[in-house]
Structure formats: structure tokens, C-alpha cells
Chain A
Amino acid sequence: MSSKSILVICRSAPYHSSAARDALDIALSGAVFELPISLLLLDDAVLQLLPNQHSSAIGAKSVNAMLGALPMYDIDKIYTSLGSLETHGLALADLDPSPIALDADELKTFIARHDVVLTL
């Protein structure tokens, strides 16, 4: 079976919908197939990277903690855009795990270089 790179793009805040967890589940399934997986968190999804989420207060599992566990599945890099950071007034230093921030041009080439793009 030939190897294809998969890009998972999520645009939702961590507890707005099931999108954050559903995106992670796709990424982990791809990792099981040992495919190169990239996770791109745009717009409100950049909020998934804020540490110290006390999600148990709303009866949810911490999306941030799950993102932190991705290196165990060989998903080492998480990506976002400079625009997403700017929208929410965030700096890279605010985020853990720390993403790679792409500008608008880099975003285009980054998306284009993947074989499969799955959006949530």
C-alpha cells in the first residue's frame, strides 16, 4: 500500500463541538497506518493549544492534554496560521504544545503539498 500524506484541518474551539476530538481521532487512525500526518489548527481551533484547560468542570476530556500526547503516536508537529494567532491575540509562547505558525503564503503551499486533506 503506497504511503500518502494526510492533512487534518480543524477550525473549531476545543469544546464548541466534537470537531476537536473527531479530528484527533482521524489523526490517530492515520498514525496507526504509519502515514505522515499533519494537524493544522485554524481560527478558533488555535484555542485547543491553550494549556491549563479545566475541562472536567464541563464534563469533558481535555483536548489540550490529548494534543500533548500526539508525539507518542509520531505526530510531532502541529501547525497554525499567523492570522489565527492574531485573531485571538495569542503569541506562540502562550501555547502548549507549541505549534508552527504559517503566514498566508506558507499556508497555501503547506496545504497543497499534502496528498489528502480532511477538514472538520
Chain B
Amino acid sequence: MIFTLVVHSAPYQSSSAASALRFACAVLAAGHDIHRIFFYRDGVHNASALASPPRDEQNLPAAWQALAEEHDLDLVVCIAAAVRRGVLNEEEARRYEKPAANLAEGFELSGLGQLVEASIKSDRVITFGGAR
């Protein structure tokens, strides 16, 4: 079965993003495919290269990167939501004349069309951290 995950929550304050990560691992372990993981709303903070949790705590952005690398996953961050919240790639940092870019490697900024396309292609679309 083909899954798409939608992550609406930032790491740490809510457990939703960590739940999404565990769900993604479980989906892959059960032999299913993940078409895309789409980060929307505060979920864009999962893609920050600057997150620096204590060494003995889970580093969610790094965990997403490792999972994506191992399974060749498509990690897409909503560009409008990200730019609003200060999660920028090099191109957007230049466009908005900001001093730095902080989109972690392995994540890609793109539009909501990627969520719609993923919804069409996937058998299941699961939202984490939605209703708020």
C-alpha cells in the first residue's frame, strides 16, 4: 500500500511530529511504500537545520534525514508556510535578502500542489497534528 504522511506540528512541544516519524518507520517496516512526507503549517520546523536539542534527546530533523536517506523518501516542505516561519533554502534566503538559509539537507521546498498530487497517488493519506 502507498502512504503519504502530512505533518502539521513542530517538533518537541507536541508529540505529533515524533508520532509521524514512528508511524513512517512502522509503515516501511511492514513493507509498505511512502510516496511523500509533506510538512505543512508549524510542521515546517521539522526541516530546520538549526534545531539543536540536547545530545541525549531525539533530534527530529536529523531523524527525518536519516530515514529519508535510508529509504529514498521524498520530504517536501510547504514553501509558503516555511518562508513565513523563517525556514528558508539558499534561493529563498537570497530572494528575501536574509542573512542565512536553514533548510536541512534532504528536505525540499515546494507548493501545496505536492500535497494534492500525493493525495491522488497514495492509497492512504495520514495527518499528524491537524485539528488546531
Residues of A participating in the B interface, judged by any CB pair closer than 8 Å: 1-4, 6, 9, 11-12, 17-19, 22, 25-26, 29-30, 32-33, 35, 115-120
Q: Which residue of chain B lies nearest to A2 when distances are taken between CB atoms in the complex? A: B120
Given A18-B41, A22-B41, A29-B112, A120:B131 Cβ within 8 A: yes
Cα separation A11 to B130 with both chains bound (whole Å): 9
Cα separation A75 to B37 with both chains bound (whole Å): 26
Interface CB pairs A-B, < 8 A, 18:
A3-B120, A4-B119, A4-B120, A6-B119, A11-B131, A12-B131, A12-B132, A19-B131, A25-B80, A25-B112, A26-B112, A26-B116, A29-B112, A29-B116, A116-B119, A116-B125, A118-B119, A120-B41
Contact call B41/A33, Cβ cutoff below 8 A: no
- B35 within 8 Å of A by Cβ? no
Cα separation A116 to B74 with both chains bound (whole Å): 20
Contact of B127 among A25, A32, A33, A119 (CB under 8 A): A119
Cα separation A19 to B130 with both chains bound (whole Å): 9
Minimal beta-carbon separation of A70 from chain B (angstroms): 16
Minimal beta-carbon separation of B118 from chain A (angstroms): 9
Cα separation A30 to B6 with both chains bound (whole Å): 15
Contact call B111/A29, Cβ cutoff below 8 A: yes
Given A1-B120, A116-B125, A120-B131, A26:B115 Cβ within 8 A: yes
Interface residues on B, range: 10 to 19
Contact call A19/B132, Cβ cutoff below 8 A: yes
What are the residues of chain B within 8 A of A29 when measuring CB–CB? 111-113, 115-116
Minimal beta-carbon separation of B106 from chain A (angstroms): 24
Minimal beta-carbon separation of A66 from chain B (angstroms): 15
What are the residues of chain A within 8 A of B131 when measuring CB–CB? 9, 11-12, 19, 119-120
- B40 within 8 Å of A by Cβ? yes
Cα separation A6 to B112 with both chains bound (whole Å): 14
Cα separation A69 to B113 with both chains bound (whole Å): 20
- B81 within 8 Å of A by Cβ? yes
- B45 within 8 Å of A by Cβ? no
What are the residues of chain A within 8 A of B81 when measuring CB–CB? 22
